[in-house]
Amino acid sequence: MKCSFCGRNIGEVVARPGALVRCRYCGVAMVVTHPDDAGRPGGQACVGQASRWDRYGQVARSIGVAIAVLLVIVVLSIAFLRSSGTWVTISYGPLVDRTQIVGNGETLGSALAREDQKGAVQPFLDGYSRLLSAAVQMRNGPDPVPLCDVADLFEPGDAQPAWVALCRTGRLRVLTSGRGMARVFLLGDDPVSAYERHYGVVRHALGMLAQQSGPLRAEIYAYRHDYAKSELSLYTKPHIVESRAFGPSKAAVDLEGLASFFAAGPVLEGARISGKHGLVLYGTEGEPQTLAGKQVALSDLAVAYRAVLHAGDNDAFVSLDPHADVTKSTVNFGGYLEDTRIGRVVLEADKRFKTITCGLDPDTGQDVRYATRAVVQAFQTNAERDLMIEGEDDGRWIGTRFWYYPDVVGVDCDLNWEYAALDKPRFTADAERSRDDFASHEDFEASRRAQLSPSVRACIDHLNQNHTDYARAFPELSELTTVARLMGVCSWLAKADNREVDLDGLLGVTLPPCRTERERDKLIAATVAKRRTGTGAVSHAQLQKSLTYYLTPLLNRSVGRVFGSEAKVRRFANDKDRLARGTTDVFRRMASGEFELLRSSKVREVMTCKRDLELLVEYWAESANAPEVESEVELSGQIAADRRALDRLKATIGLLKRALDGAGSVEEFNRLVDRHNAVVRTHRMTLERHNRLVRQFNALRFRVRYILAIGG
């Protein structure tokens, strides 16, 4: 028998109908029943099999507990709940964590203060629509049967219809009892018009419920959402809809025909939309079109359609943003691209910027500079370009954000918006300085492009000008062009304002299983090259011998292994130049008697801020090159001692030569000859050692210069 709540197999259970069985894994108690005559939910859990509706009930009861907690929060923590006629306003401001980082790099609190940032804050606030059902119960009393959110019936990343993501984020919310009743919350000014406007989307969820339970009675509520005020306004009088089926209200889109188009594997070139012909796609033969290594399918078009036409202000994007753990980055998506193949491609393309900046593969940490140059002529990383710039480094860390934008994806269409042809379907790379580098939003907006490093600009220009070569080197960049084609067609569909074909039928397409990252370790790297003392730039020949080190593994090593001893950390932390730029509590603690307490901790466990990471990399760079500095001092002393010894030996040889000339007997002459020869041999050996040390010393005259990088 399987538990109807957690789904685990609890073994065979022999029990009569009505007996109580408890799961040994999750502790949930279940009543053994048999299906009723009509096969309706409520009695479908039998010995050996737990029905889906039993699981709905268990989930619903859990949700009921959560709702009860939320009711307390609404009463005690929410600022106020006020009513005006048929509208109820719910303020959830005290529940919002305004320190979260949104997709543009700002804090949520900062973005909320500006009207033009609705798209940035939408993913963080739409989920508060869960309070709407609590407000209904506060006015009407508790629900007779606890309701379950339909999005909870699907696990993120599993195969599921495209419409589910719209419910999961909370912009559209559908609750069900699993017994022929649903409650729906839609954005709008009144429930009737909201239902008509959103019918193409919500019909999929209602149709699924009606198919499973029979005739469905749905309560349709309208609500407004004011992000700036952190308020939800609920129209409390529902529109009641009862039906056995929820079909399209327009001409159905030919999903089978579109699926056949993608199965043939063409390169998407254009489209046509009309009431007579529906949606027709056009393509040409070419290289196989893939996304995340799989052939492009109808489900990918459904994802692009959802991102363009049903994402609200939340435009499609991917961003690596600050994480609660300073050693990690949070992966944020816009346009509901998470857990999709399109989302995986845009994330991999964004991660590939790390190769362009430091030369490392973002997943393996391998140095791929030379492999890239075999395909992309004149490829140079941002670090290599910085090494070749004249001048010494001032020790400042400069933050830069990279991204792709679709502004150049052109679509040619006729005056009636019936036909469309793709023109230059390719995303363009760009970059700007990080928001953290500026004191205010105004300074950031004025200087984010103007103060971009020349080396970064050169890398971006080279990438855009040689896109075909880069796409051959990195498959995800080639697949990004396929994404641009799908997005281009869907952007045209949005502007065509079609009113005859039910394009929302695409939201019923099942998406294949796919899971995208939610977080990842920061990529930490150091590019090291030797240059002649006294010059700031590294020559091209020296650059070819440069090494790039993958330093992220340092985070999982112990403090004792990475930092060595308290004395070493003290010398590092007390450096005057470094003190001027600022140290941190962690380094001050390690340098002031607490090193042994932290010795066995992992480095990532003691890192608390961005500056900690910067100092970690600086410490590695300096300590890794300290032996060469010490060797130079030691060699200099040995060379000076050998020179003094050679001078003494040379003077001794001169004295012995004069003594040989005045030898009074053969015995004395032979004795002086033996001594002379021994001193000459010593002189020759000392001279050879001296010359060898001089060559070693000259080799050390090439000092190490390094470029350090910390990226998402």
pLDDT tens digits for 158-212?
Answer: 999 999 999 999 999 999 998 899 999 999 999 999 999 999 999 999 999 999 8
**What pLDDT is recorded for position 86?**
87
**What pLDDT is recorded for position 77?**
41
**What pLDDT is recorded for position 276?**
87
**What pLDDT is recorded for position 665?**
84
**What pLDDT is recorded for position 700?**
55
- Looking at per-residue pLDDT, the higher value among 451 and 48 belongs to 451
What average pLDDT does range 53-58 have in this prediction?
44
pLDDT at residue 4 is higher than 60: no
**What pLDDT is recorded for position 573?**
87
With tokens 């370009």, the residue in question is 385
pLDDT at residue 38 is higher than 60: no
| Sequence-separated (6 or more) residues with CB below 8 Å from residue 312 | 118, 119, 122, 171
With tokens 């991660």, the residue in question is 351
In 3D, which of 280, 276, 273, 282 has the Cα closest to residue 257?
A: 280
CB 370 within 8 A of CB 159: no
Cα separations in angstroms, 135 against 89, 131, 182, 188: 9, 6, 16, 17
The whole-angstrom separation of Cα 625 and Cα 610 is 24
What average pLDDT does range 600-608 have in this prediction?
95
The whole-angstrom separation of Cα 570 and Cα 576 is 12
Per the structure block, which two tokens stand in for 416?
A: 């009636």
The whole-angstrom separation of Cα 586 and Cα 602 is 13
Confidence band for 699, pLDDT divided at 50, 70 and 90: low
**What pLDDT is recorded for position 364?**
93
Lowest mean pLDDT among 223-237, 448-462, 626-640, 668-682: 626-640
CB 196 within 8 A of CB 143: no
Handedness of CA 449, 551, 532, 384 (dihedral sign): negative
Confidence band for 632, pLDDT divided at 50, 70 and 90: low
- Looking at per-residue pLDDT, the higher value among 509 and 575 belongs to 509
How buried is residue 428: exposed, middle or buried, by Cβ count under 10 Å (0-12/13-18/19+)? middle
pLDDT at residue 414 is higher than 80: yes
pLDDT at residue 335 is higher than 60: yes
The radius of gyration of the chain from alpha carbons, rounded to an integer in Å, stands at: 35
pLDDT at residue 502 is higher than 70: yes
* Terminal-to-terminal C-alpha distance of the chain: 46
What average pLDDT does range 254-264 have in this prediction?
95
The whole-angstrom separation of Cα 610 and Cα 65 is 40
Confidence band for 498, pLDDT divided at 50, 70 and 90: confident
**What pLDDT is recorded for position 28?**
55
**What pLDDT is recorded for position 515?**
96
b/e code 564-600 from CB counts within 10 Å (16+ = b):
eebebbbebbeeeebeeeebbebbebbbeeebeebee
In 3D, which of 224, 221, 184, 226 has the Cα closest to residue 96?
A: 226
**What pLDDT is recorded for position 532?**
54
- Looking at per-residue pLDDT, the higher value among 564 and 84 belongs to 564
**What pLDDT is recorded for position 1?**
60
Confidence band for 45, pLDDT divided at 50, 70 and 90: very low
**What pLDDT is recorded for position 264?**
94
Mean pLDDT for the chain? 83
Lowest mean pLDDT among 123-132, 341-350, 607-616, 630-639: 630-639
Phi-psi sector, 101: left (phi>0), alpha (psi -120 to 50), beta: beta
Confidence band for 319, pLDDT divided at 50, 70 and 90: confident
The whole-angstrom separation of Cα 341 and Cα 150 is 23
**What pLDDT is recorded for position 460?**
93
Lowest mean pLDDT among 72-76, 136-140, 202-206, 534-538: 72-76
**What pLDDT is recorded for position 441?**
64
Confidence band for 147, pLDDT divided at 50, 70 and 90: very high
What average pLDDT does range 135-156 have in this prediction?
92
Q: What are phi and psi of 246, to 5 degrees?
A: -130, 85
- The β-bridge relationship of strands 519-521 and 523-532 is unpaired
**What pLDDT is recorded for position 622?**
82
**What pLDDT is recorded for position 693?**
79
Name 318's bridge partners: 333
pTM: 0.77
- List, as one string, the DSSP characters of 57-88: HHHHHHHHHHHHHHHHHHHHTSS-EEEETTEE
b/e code 6-28 from CB counts within 10 Å (16+ = b):
eeeebeeeeeeeeeebebeeeeb
Confidence band for 657, pLDDT divided at 50, 70 and 90: confident
The whole-angstrom separation of Cα 138 and Cα 623 is 64
**What pLDDT is recorded for position 133?**
94
**What pLDDT is recorded for position 72?**
41
pLDDT at residue 705 is higher than 80: no
